[in-house]
Chains A and B, each alone.
Chain A
Amino acid sequence: GNSVTQMEGPVTLSEEAFLTINCTYTATGYPSLFWYVQYPGEGLQLLLKATKADDKGSNKGFEATYRKETTSFHLEKGSVQVSDSAVYFCALGLREFNKFYFGSGTKLNVKP
């Protein structure tokens, strides 16, 4: 089947710390991979994406590389800010793209 597993939170970091949120997937086809971010009281926003193996998605200092050999798409940022506090969702979309599969979300708290 198709599924996404991401590390449970909450993750609490100090400002300027390095962030990694792990995400692994299983898929029957050739998925595209996404990271979405949800700020308190808001909907999900696309953070970054990668459509094929070895692609690197990046945005706002966040990066993730599509690793087919390890079926992973880990989210990283070199120096987090308080404003990065949010819930992060890893997701996959299949080629037919009528369905997306989301991880359970990882809450990030960044302290000043």
Chain B
Amino acid sequence: NAGVTQTPKFQVLKTGQSMTLQCAQDMNHNSMYWYRQDPGMGLRLIYYSASEGTTDKGEVPNGYNVSRLNKREFSLRLESAAPSQTSVYFCASRYSRSTTGELFFGEGSRLTVL
């Protein structure tokens, strides 16, 4: 079972470059999320998509854009990368109509901005 798949796993960018992190899930989940993880700060929500066709800002959306391409895929784009965006990014998904509704995470994408 693939679950939640993120690409790339590692990326190094220079300040001002752009890139897109890809995420796909094969669990037929309707909700998808992008988090960033920084030392001592836990996980902070960047954007989420409650269902196909909708996206909403989370706690730290500045500098990012997202696209919910279809039910399976949710991409995160950095238009002009900054060193403050150096982080580990996690995509997650869940079935929001479940009473428990836990999140399922990908393995993460480690991004370094020089």
Return the contact of B94 from the options A89, A97, A102, A104 (Cβ within 8 A). A97
Q: A51-B100, A97-B96 are in contact. Are A43 and B105 (CB under 8 A)?
A: yes
A77 — which chain B residues lie within 8 A by C-beta?
Answer: none
Q: A32-B100, A43-B107, A44-B105 are in contact. Are A98 and B50 (CB under 8 A)?
A: yes
Q: A97-B96, A99-B58 are in contact. Are A32 and B101 (CB under 8 A)?
A: yes
Q: Does A42 contact B (CB under 8 A)?
A: yes
The count of A-to-B residue pairs whose CB atoms sit within 8 angstroms is: 56
Q: Assign chain A's interface to a size class.
A: 20 to 34
> How many residues on the B side are at the interface (Cβ–Cβ under 8 A)?
26
B100 — which chain A residues lie within 8 A by C-beta?
Answer: 32, 49, 51
The answer for the CA separation of A108 and B94 in the assembled complex, in Å, is: 27
B58 — which chain A residues lie within 8 A by C-beta?
Answer: 99
- Minimum C-beta distance from A33 to chain B (A): 11
Q: Does A34 contact B (CB under 8 A)?
A: yes
13 intermolecular pairs with C-beta atoms under 8 Å apart: A32-B101, A36-B105, A41-B107, A43-B4, A44-B90, A89-B43, A91-B103, A97-B96, A98-B48, A98-B96, A100-B33, A104-B41, A104-B42
16 A-B pairs besides A93-B101, A99-B45 with CB distance below 8 A are A36-B103, A42-B107, A42-B108, A44-B92, A45-B105, A46-B102, A91-B103, A97-B31, A97-B101, A98-B31, A98-B50, A98-B96, A100-B33, A102-B42, A102-B43, A104-B41
- By a beta-carbon cutoff of 8 Å, the part of chain A in contact with chain B is 32, 34, 36, 41-46, 49, 51, 89, 91, 93, 97-100, 102-105
Closest 10 A/B residue pairs (Cβ):
A43-B105, A104-B42, A102-B43, A44-B105, A102-B42, A43-B107, A97-B101, A46-B102, A98-B50, A97-B96
